[in-house]
Amino acid sequence: MARQSLFDDQARVVKSNRLVQSKMNWTKLEHRVVAMLIAQLEKDDKEFEEQRVYIKDIADLSGRNGKSLYDQAEEICQKLLDQKIHIRTQTDDGRRRYKGYNCMSSCEYVEGSGYIEAKFNDDMQPFLLQLKRRFTQYNLKCFMQLSSQHSMRIYELLKMREGIKYLRLGIEELREVLSCEHSYERFADFKRWVLERARGELWDKTDIYFNYQVEREGQTPVRINFVIKENDSEKEKEGGSKNEDANETLIQSGQNGERGDIGVEGKADEGETPTFNVFAMVLDEMTQEELDTYSETHIREAVSSARQKVDNDRPDDGAANKAIEAYREALRRVRN
């Protein structure tokens, strides 16, 4: 009787946000094998054990040719043992901190067995086991279908901020996380082969998609504003145009262990009034064509003038109502 796959359509990968934000220079095949290992972990596991990834499952989930994967199995083991994770943070007094980790402690393939057997390094426990907060989860099948390692990493980063629907990253920081600091040196190439390719792949193959706006200093691109959208095939998509009502999307619960208030800046304590990021709300409503057409300065000026108008016209309204009115007024000003 044929062996049943360990993974169904609901299989999830769950990892800490620090791991999502780390630098890892892996191939898409290495990403796939590690994702399949992570998807087998249970939320109550306290330590790592030997795990198996079947070659047939890799082929079925990714659409790869199974025979070529069997031929590569030993090489996959060798590369996984060599692969490292690079995490950069700051100390309490603001100094930069770097720490590197080996991902796997052992990796084995026996010819004819049909599977790779591997065990995570114990140092990976804080990033994969007993996660209570600040974690990201996503669908394994969506991830496995992506055909570029850059698209895979962008998918992870955007799933981390799916609840907020907005992610702002410096271009150099994004290049480092994607391990492409020394490739696609012209921004036009980076945009074409990394951003646009990921945008198309996520649209076609995953549960989210994104638009983005490039921030510039003079003529130099310096930051990317990602606007993250739910990719629901049952709803009308953009290009059609997928528009959401501001009242429905203004406040949403977080899905990935973080507060998920769309357009809310920072994390207000209980009882405090949150500050709504109208700029993010406006970006969320704009099409990619509009984001390419209008400059960041134009959008920010429209938001600023809209907020001033609403503050003057409706001084007694609450923060949420003011944000909604400013968002609507800013959109009108951007498009006029």
Sheet holding 208-217, edge to edge: 166-170, 220-230, 208-217
pTM: 0.75
Give 68-127 pLDDT, tens digit per residue: 899 889 999 999 999 999 998 888 888 989 999 999 999 999 999 999 999 999 999 999
Distance CA 123, CA 120 (A): 8
Domain boundaries, the chain: 13-132
| Mean pLDDT, rounded, for 291-296 | 85
| Mean pLDDT, rounded, for 251-258 | 36
| Mean pLDDT, rounded, for 202-208 | 96
CATH fold of 13-132: Arc Repressor Mutant, subunit A (1.10.10)
pLDDT at 252: 33
pLDDT at 172: 95
Axis-axis angle for helices 149-160, 28-39 (nearest 10):
40
pLDDT at 277 over 70: yes
pLDDT at 267 over 50: no
Mean pLDDT of the chain: 85
Alpha carbon distances (Å) from 69 to 66, 74, 80, 119: 5, 10, 15, 20
How many CB atoms sit inside 10 A of residue 28's CB? 18
